[in-house]
Amino acid sequence: MLRALAKGMGTTLRMLFRKKQTLKYPFVKKERAQRFRGRHELRRYENGLEMCIGCELCQVACPAAAITVMPAQNDPENPNSPGERYAYKYEIDMLRCIFCGLCEEACPTEALHLTREFELADFTRESHIYGRDRLVNRHTSPFRVPENVYPPFHGLRPMHEDRGEETRA
């Protein structure tokens, strides 16, 4: 019996000098994998325009039905995104999200990106619904607006205006 006791204490003693597995979490954070999928962000082009065009493909790709996109037409004077369409409402319910990344994969403009941020705890359910205010980045990214794909939007144009430069020479 003493033998067993000594063995147990020995194990404890040995473990005491091993490298610690636990982290002092709020002060020390765990290393995350390079492709860790955390909170979403909606990126901006280098010229500051939003990359999201409100296509709703992320919404339909999401297996958890966590995303809601409401598109609208851009104001030609003050566009949100290149081209005619943008998302005037964009919501992700982080409580529903399973961080599968399918939305990111579906996004045709690479606007949607899952960051490595994981600290999403909060006190109410409502506060877990992230809107445009928390999802759209304030900073720009190195992406450039692709040419041809999103021609500048001038608003609806009358049928019989001067056709001018637009038909290719």
Which chain residues interact with another protein by CB under 8 A?
Answer: 53-57, 59-60, 70-73, 83-85, 108-109, 148-151, 153-160, 163, 166-168
How far is it, in rounded angstroms, from Cα 121 to Cα 25? 14
What are the φ/ψ torsions at residue 136 (nearest 5 degrees)? -75, 125
Residue number with CB closer to another protein (31 or 166):
166
Nearest to 130 by CA among 86, 167, 96: 96
- 94 touches, from another protein, ligand SF4, none (C-beta below 5 to 8 Å by class): none
Q: Is 58 in the site for ligand SF4 (CB under 6 A)?
A: yes
How far is it, in rounded angstroms, from Cα 158 to Cα 152? 16
Q: Is 107 in the site for ligand SF4 (CB under 6 A)?
A: yes
Q: Which of 38, 64, 91, 132 binds ligand SF4 (CB under 6 A)?
A: 64
Nearest to 41 by CA among 135, 131, 106, 119: 135
How far is it, in rounded angstroms, from Cα 44 to Cα 4? 64
Contact positions vs ligand SF4 (CB under 6 A): 42, 52-58, 61-64, 66-67, 69, 87, 92, 97-103, 106-107, 109, 111-112
